[in-house]
Amino acid sequence: MQRQFGASVNGLPCHTLDEVFRSTESGSAELAIVPLENSSEGAVSRTLDLLLATPLKMLAEISVLVQHNLLSKSGSMTGVTRICAHAQALAQCANWLNQYWPSIERQSVASNAEAARMASEDEGVAAIAGDAAARRYDVRTVAAQIQDDTHNRTRFAVLGAQTTQPSTPPARDKTSLILSVPNKAGAVFHMLSPLASHGVSMTRFESRPARVGTWEYYFYLDLEGHVDEPSVAAVLGELQQACAFYKCLGSYPAERVNSQ
């Protein structure tokens, strides 16, 4: 949130992704920031499911270098009986934890910030979280940068009710879609063929069970370009005709990945 909007913006913490979507859809918050995917653990499934039904649009993407620290109230592991973090963070630090603290119970909680809060109140709890959570809840670092992959990144989406205009070159845009196709031979090939015929590149392709039938899937796609560009508009028009389900999540500036 601070990376995208600065330190002066007011944050509304939510316990679950469902609550993040509800708060923004109801107007309690102007914008939502939700995790889409992690470079080592893959897509955040609940976010993908919630994107299916929301009227919110994608307005921006943020790629954040993930640096996990092991934190406790005292700065040591003396008396610690549980290590708490979000399930994704526990998975991203599994090898390190197996090597150094294999016998301590691991508990998944709603967020790493919640884990840091718990650690600030209970000397029996250690948390996996970042520097901001450590400062906020006044907990100390036991070990720094314990993530298994030093290049580990999480991609977040900013969601809101508005739409975006095309970026001014040389900046680039992306467009995100959710599609499904009839269950017949060659359906996915025919779904993707408009991209080739109009010269539009696909940067991401993810499948997710539809939960409405046997072996039926939704496909999550990121395309290069803005919906207002003629080539992208032509692709979207053909996809709307060919797909059993079509939803455009919006167009937004493509972020340049850096080391921060």
Taken in order of first residue, the domains within the chain and their CATH numbers are: 1-63+154-162 (3.40.190.10), 69-151 (3.40.190.10), 163-260 (3.30.70.260)
Q: What pTM value is reported for the model?
A: 0.84
Residue 18 has pLDDT above 50, yes or no: yes
User: Tokens 């003396």 belong to which residue?
Assistant: 78
Mean pLDDT calculated for residue range 139-150: 96
Residue 237 has pLDDT above 90, yes or no: yes
Q: What is the pLDDT of residue 228?
A: 95
Contact residues for 55 (Cβ-Cβ < 8 A; gap 6+): 25, 161
Query: 47, 72, 77: which is closest to 61 by C-alpha?
Result: 47
Residue 152 has pLDDT above 90, yes or no: no
Residue 173 near residue 227 (C-beta atoms within 8 A): no
Arithmetic mean of pLDDT over the chain: 93
Q: Which of 13-27, 73-87, 146-160, 212-226 has the lowest mean pLDDT?
A: 212-226
Mean pLDDT calculated for residue range 115-135: 97
Q: What is the pLDDT of residue 185?
A: 85
Q: What is the pLDDT of residue 259?
A: 44
3-state secondary structure of 221: strand
Q: What is the pLDDT of residue 40?
A: 84
